Structure 1
Amino acid sequence: MHPAPSIIAFTTLSGLGLGLLFWLGIDPDPSGGWVGFTFFTLAFGMTGIGLAASTFHLGHPERALKAFSQWQSSWLSREAWAAASAMLVMGLYAFCLIVLGVHVAVLGWLGALLCMATVGTTSMIYAQLKTIPRWHHWSTPVLFFALSLGGGALLAGKISMAIFLIALAGGVQAYWFWQGDLRFGDAGATIGTATGLGDRGSVRAFEPPHTGTNYLLKEFVYVVGRKHGDKLRLISLGLMTVLPLMILLTNPHHLMAIIAVLSHVTGVVVSRWLFFAQAEHVVGLYYGKR
């Protein structure tokens, strides 16, 4: 898949922002005043920028509101409702806590659950797609949850939970990379199944469907060299998991904690780029890309 910057920004920032909101929502002794204001501003800012970035990839961004109308059949529509509900409830929770000085725990828990519901619906947009075997697997939602909760815990200063969840996210990410490489072959998709002619014998393309590029090739057939991809995977795991864990386990004071956060976010960006760039759509079979 073509790794559009808007989608990378969306999945990275919204996941981290929603993860931070989750931890702020379930905190039994939340900070008010300027400290609380800073954390909520960071969380809402990341989430809002991420959600806004997602509209840039639409052919008609001005029609984004129509996504709310298809909630019965579309995970994208369910994501829109979950995100709007989460932002509304958490906004009310933050207002009560910071402005009124009242901790309404039930609002925080409800908002936290809605934040995770948003992460889940986002992950299902990709996990539901049988045409992209690398995504069509239970590990895709697990990866989204692990990264959101781990990154959110790191941003919230929940060191113990951050250590556990970032380590878990690294393990899930490594498994997702390894198992994802096998998934296209395991799905049994070939040019024979793509054309419906496989039962008549060996099928091969006589000539390419097009003499030049087209939308399908631009958006759904993006080729990453294996050596290049392997290097980026190691960079992703190193920045996303290894370096932050080393810092958190040895010297998690303020400056080093900031470095851990920046390293983790950078690693997630690389991971998200690979998530899209290495996703093989079955339409590539028509163009001899497998």
Structure 2
Amino acid sequence: MHPAFSVVFFTTATGAGYGLLALLGTLGGFQIIPPDFWLGFIGMGLALGLIVAGLLSSTGHLGRPERAWRAFSQWRSSWLSREGVASVITFIPAGLFGIGWIFFGKTDGWVGIAGSLAAIGAIITVCTTGMIYASLKPIAQWHSRFTLPGYVIFSAMTGSVLLNALLQGFALGSKVQLAACLLLTLTGWGWKLATWRYNDRLEIPTTANTATGLAGGTVRSLEWPHTEENYLLKEMGFRIARKHGARLRQITQLLAFALPLGLLAIVFALPWPPAALLSVLAAVIQFAGMLVASWLFFAEAKHTVTLYYGR
């Protein structure tokens, strides 16, 4: 698949934003973090800012962005539409939670309930995003048991590292919270490796023979359908060289997992403010790594429509 940067950024930004929103809503709803004005202002601003930036970026891949609103009408059958509906609904409790936390200085009562509802909405929205790709049968690399859990795991991972940077910046970090970041990052690393291993061993059952129903021998095209690249080949037939894919996988592991793990492990032994600086650096590096991982997620996927073009 063609890895358009608008969709790559959308996947990474909204995943991190919804992960952070879910954690803020949960911790705020249970009064685990204080109802500080600046903590709420920066935390909710960062979470909602990432979500909005990602959603706006996704419209850049549309031929007619002004018609994006029409996607909301197909929620009965389309996961893309369900994602749009869930994202809009989530903004309602998230907005109430942010108002109560920032302007009223409280996270209990109705503010806590709004925070919990925002967390639930964030999780549902991430799941709908994952199902957009997991439901696509023509793309075997996505239509697997790894896609949906992967979206949830990576959202929780990036959200927790962002939350750690936020709390460390206000000198509110804890050993338990740091340990959770390390555990989620290790889980994300293991899940990504397992996904790559599954995709590398994947045997796609559809071939030119099965598509035409001609058993025996080898079916091949006598003439190509087009004399030059068309829309389908550009969007669905994108190919990446194996050596480039291997190098990008190494970069993903380094930036998204290895370096953040090393930096967060060092934070355990550092006082404030060096701990805060390394925590922010870990979050920035991991976000960059997840951009590369998201690019690979699209670039390494193969659509069965390319069989029509002899690929």
Write the deviation string for residues 61-116 of structure 1: whole angstroms up to 9, x where unpaired: 11111111111000011001110111221111110111112322221111101101
Indicate the residue corresponding to 1:148 in structure 2: 155
How many pairs are equivalent? 286
Identical pairs, percent:
41
Match of 1:286 in 2: 308
Task: Find out whether 1:136 has 2:131 as its counterpart.
Answer: no
Q: Give the CA deviation at 1:132.
A: 0.5
Please list every run of 5 or more consecutive structure 1 residues that lacks an aligned counterpart in the other structure: none
Q: Is 1:217 matched up with 2:233?
A: yes
Structure 2 partner of 1:241: 257
Q: How does 1:78-227 map to 2 (within 5 A)?
A: 78-103=82-107, 104-157=111-164, 158-183=177-202, 185=203, 187-194=204-211, 196-199=212-215, 201-227=217-243
User: How far does residue 130 in structure 1 lie from its aligned partner after superposition?
Assistant: 0.7
Structure 2: runs of 5+ lacking an equivalent: 165-176, 269-274
Task: Find the counterpart in structure 2 of residue 228 from structure 1.
Answer: 244
| Deviating more after overlay: 22-31 vs 118-127 | 22-31
> C-alpha offsets along residues 181-218 of structure 1, whole Å, 9 cap, x if unaligned?
233x2x30101223x23336431111211111111111
Give the aligned CA root-mean-square deviation in angstroms: 1.2
Q: How does 1:23-102 map to 2 (within 5 A)?
A: 23-27=23-27, 28=30, 29-30=32-33, 31-102=35-106
CA deviations 1:139-195 (Å, max 9, x no partner) are 101111111001101111132221111110111111111111233x2x30101223x
* Partner SS state of residue 198, structure 1: coil
Q: Does the Cα contact within 8 Å between 1:197 and 1:203 map onto a contact in 2?
A: no
Q: Which amino acid aligns with 2:101?
A: L
Aligned to 1:13: 13
Deviations along 1:12-56, whole A, 9 cap, x unmatched?
000000000011000033342012101110111001000111111
Q: Distance in 2 between matches of 1:198 and 1:122?
A: 37
Query: Distance in 2 between the 1:57 and 1:79 partners?
Result: 16
Tell me the distance in 1 between the aligned counterparts of 2:151 and 2:26.
19
The residue matched to 2:201 in structure 1 has which SS? helix
Aligned to 1:251: 267
Partner Cα separation in structure 2 for residue 106 and residue 35 of structure 1: 19
Tell me how far apart the structure 2 counterparts of residues 287 and 204 of structure 1 sit (CA, whole Å): 10
Deviation beyond 3 Å, 4+ runs, structure 1: none
Cα distance in 2 for partners of 1:141, 1:80 equals: 17
